[in-house]
A and B are shown apart, each in its own frame.
Chain A
Amino acid sequence: MDLQHSDAVVFMGSNMAECHPVGFKWPMKAKARGATLIHVDPRFTRTSAMCDYYVPMRSGTDIVFLGALINYVITNNKYLEEYVKEFTNAATLINEGFKDTDDPGQDGFFSGYNPQTRAYERTTWQYQTDQAPVRVPEAPPGQTSEVREGQERPPSPLPGVGARPGQLGAGTIVGANFAELIANRLPGTPKVDKALQDKNSVFQILKRHYARYTPEMVEKICGTPKDLFLKVAETITANSGKDKTTAFVYAVGWTQHTTGVQLIRTAGILQALLGNIGRPGGGIMALRGHATIQGCTDIATLYNIHPGYLNTPNANANHDTLRDYILTETQPTSFWSNTPAYVISQLRAWFGDAGTPENDYLYDTLPKITADHSHLPIFVEMAEGKIKGMIVTGQNPATSINSSFQRKAMRNLDWMVVLDSYETETAAFWRDVVYNDVDGKRVSPKDIKTEIFFVPAAHIAEKDGSMTQTQRTVQWHDKAADPPGDARSDLFFWYDLGKRLKRRYASSTAPRDLAIRHMTLDYDPAPADVAEWKHKDEPSAFKIFTEINGFDWKTKAPLNSFASLTADGNTACGAWIYTGMLQVVQGQMVNRARMTPGKNDGWVSPNWGWAWPGNRHQLYNRASADAAGNPWSPRKKFTYWDAAARTWKNDSGEGIDFVLTKAPDAAANPRGIGVAFHSGAAPFLLKTDGKAWLFAPTGTSDGPLPTHYEPWESPVKNLLYKQDQNPITKIWNVEGNKYNEFAGNEFPTVITTYRLTEHHLSGVMSRWLPWLAELMPELFVEMSPEFAAEKGITNGEYVTVSSSRGKTHARALVTKRLRPFNLDGKVVHQVGMPWHWGYMGISTGDIANNTTALVADPNVSIHEGKAFTCKIEKGKV
């Protein structure tokens, strides 16, 4: 909704009109108000049709494009100076030992690279700081700390001191004074050069880093005509500053790359330089697509995150005891300083009264991860026969990355459970309609020993629950009808499974059973709350919702804010970010997630659902006022400091993302814990220094600054650096996952995959619906007429798309919306395929992912389905 206030919107790595058609009404409103809309993409799409102009760019070269924009902004002094100086870490000085990718001998690597481990050691990336505050002596775990004058500082707590890892009853946090412990871990204040001239300042490092990202380079690497690139640069700089704001909008066109995280960061840097973050009509809109995908990430769909973005205990980190975990994870100088409260409240919610300070709230019963357990490596292990069983819920690996590999891997399972509304390709992977593209033979069911259980799942309207969409807004929905027959909600499955396991482990003493034995699983609804027509065996989604929100442990009353969470076990909370979606107002409980917008709710619509955290829609909105707390301009007035009332205000009803009573001129406190460490001009509360990180000393494993590397499979070498690809890309050199030769001749065509409005994901929810199946009935691959002429392909005929992994047959859709790219004199063609098809459903077709590879971003293990290479041949080969 904020997009309607943008003066310019750049859609990049996104096809918003195609994939978020309803949300697209907001950029259209901006356009009606005179905003300029720009689409940067390898293809001219439905979004391009709506934009003022379209800019072509080869898949996988976004960092060059965005980096060149950064270079343009810096070189032409188009950055918002006060914003950059005050709100970003541009002035901060970096360790003198830091070496950038361009420094002599670095060849595209940063300092700290270890070729043996294929990893970076980040000491040289850190800030230069003043002396850290004096430490006070700490009591060993399990004992109350006392400050004694003159006493020697005891050794810092080692893992397992006073307890062995995994042993119950460790009691490492008994008597712990977290405030003191955290204070003992305060860092020194970062050193800065406010003039931005010091050669070790982030600003100067940034300037040097992107100096070679020129418009000429953009033309040679991205294939974008220089004048078009400059037009983009002029448009966004003309529409940024005090009076205007520009927004960037992205989706999986940016995430699904081996440099995905860095790519997005480049936009973050650019927007911070332009002063667009935290301002109305500014910022970066991340468009996530699946219904409640945001809610899923918030509440633990990912293997390495507990609900509320607390890291999963990790055997390779200092997480042996609860105390270790808290002290490792708590960031002393940002909002994460409250981590102890978040963690302990979560444990209280999970284990109830069975958890006590003496047994560390049963922290030790939680399993610890040992490696990357995301989708791709799991399937590699499955292919090696290491995984015996799998429960698949609302996912379809049989059509996923390197799908032949995944389908073949699944044959090694002893058992599989599939929860879904239709018989998906995964549930049917054993059927003889399936080809294995790797060996070219049809599957024979008698060769497959996997026992498959198909559990019919309810659809969205057939269950109670909540959804949290991409802008962090949670909405509650009530079920409208029972699901048919035996179909039940996914919640029912897990709850019922949990109850059965609890019964099974009721008298077990094995350590690995204790978590389930002690977990609170009391979500049976009160009979009075279940209407006569509803199934009686479904758990109460609302009880879980309440637990996620958090409540007082004694009174069971919901909490209104995460500020109420404590580390003494008196509060329980499933996920701290959600505290406040239930509010107690004048004694009545109000569910803010039920939409109740009034006529005068304004454009922010604070009563339409509830956005975490604290109903704040535009994060970091302190940045919409300058350092003194005044709006940057009357036109872009949003959050501002009311000096008379001594409080921050926002006239649009937006939640203020700052300490309400902290003055803009409040000084930084070197001994302050949490946000007290920051001054009143530090909007970025989750960062240690409260500033936007143009340079990232921690948080990314492949570099503090985004750097262009070619996709893992590319037809051309990296023109910017000697190092072609991201050096720490996650790769798997296993059978069935052969990579195309980099810049080789056999697979010279760039290919990308994408979505259509008419279908959804692997088509499970759309290719079974006749009304959707008939709108887009077949898989196709889009190609330019020049490319088609070269191959003798006519519009509509079948072609074969192949890679080292497998092949896909698709219809050719020849269109001028795709074009050949001229890359430094070499003509490179790009094609694209939607990936919605599979062998089940009304509309069936080959699987696009037969051609993709298991290769991933090193930070988050996301694959590179958006840019790889292939070969196209006429006919069905």
Chain B
Amino acid sequence: MPNPYVIEPHWANWMLVLEMFVAGVAAGTFLFIALANLATDRSKVSATEDQDVAARAGFVPLPLMLLVGLILVVDLGQPLRFLNIVVRSPLAPERGPLPLMFNSNSPMNWGTWVIIVFGLFATVAFLDALWHRRVFRGVSLVEALSHNPIWLAVGAIFALATGAYSGVLLNVTSQNVWGDTFLMGGLYVAFSALSGMAVAAIVADRAGARRTAAAVQNALFWFAAVAGVLLLLFVVNLAVAGRVTLLLADLDLLVAPAFWIGVVGLAILYPLVTYWRGGPVRVKRTGSTTLAVAGYDLGRLAIVGAGVLLGVLAFRYVLLFSALAAVT
């Protein structure tokens, strides 16, 4: 039974679906970049391949985060005042005395600062990508940072926070579905990581980096599994709260179809099944500690990645619009 007492906050719109999707992709891609640099194989070829793919992927987070920022500002009722969320307006003295705006009770404030800091990491990644293309050779600090494990780890943390905060934000409301659970932060970060790995799949495949592709395929499977477990827990949580039909059976606004086909089908089952059936990158054991790429269906991993991205987009749609479907 839907909660009938609330007003839908006008967040169920395509711009915000896109924003959440894009932010998740940006964050997830950075996570991939960090993982690729941190967990890369010491073997020379793999390492080069990994770093090359990571560097290509480095082009992704910054433009997407700029788009995120733009959408978030444009979506506001008063876009020109967007700085009030960062710099405390003198007309709001009660939140003082610091000149910067931070309401520790508001996930939106947490999130704002998180994505600002993450933006810094995305910028460095972008510059690094340019460096690798020999377009920009300006600051050698960029290269140093981009491969520094501490920088990457911290960046990964902010990337994960970026991926998670929207879910926490939605949880801290009274809305149907969103407010009925506290699992959405985890759910969001899982799907964010999944979408990032899907991007990596596309980039690796297009670059023909077989060894990186093998690793990405592996990670894609595991992230899909984690996301799948969290999704299941989420559904159970909703069932306990009595709101699960909103997700599973509500034809209003096509929420249920998008859930089953997009989220469960494309985002979760597709990569799992693909991997279980051997995956586009076939790996075989060549020694006790060595593997080799035994077969590689060029282009297929990219398709899986694209499918997963579509599924994650559907996920963003379902989560946002399910609250709207409940009140209309």
Q: In the complex, A touching B, CB below 8 Å?
A: no
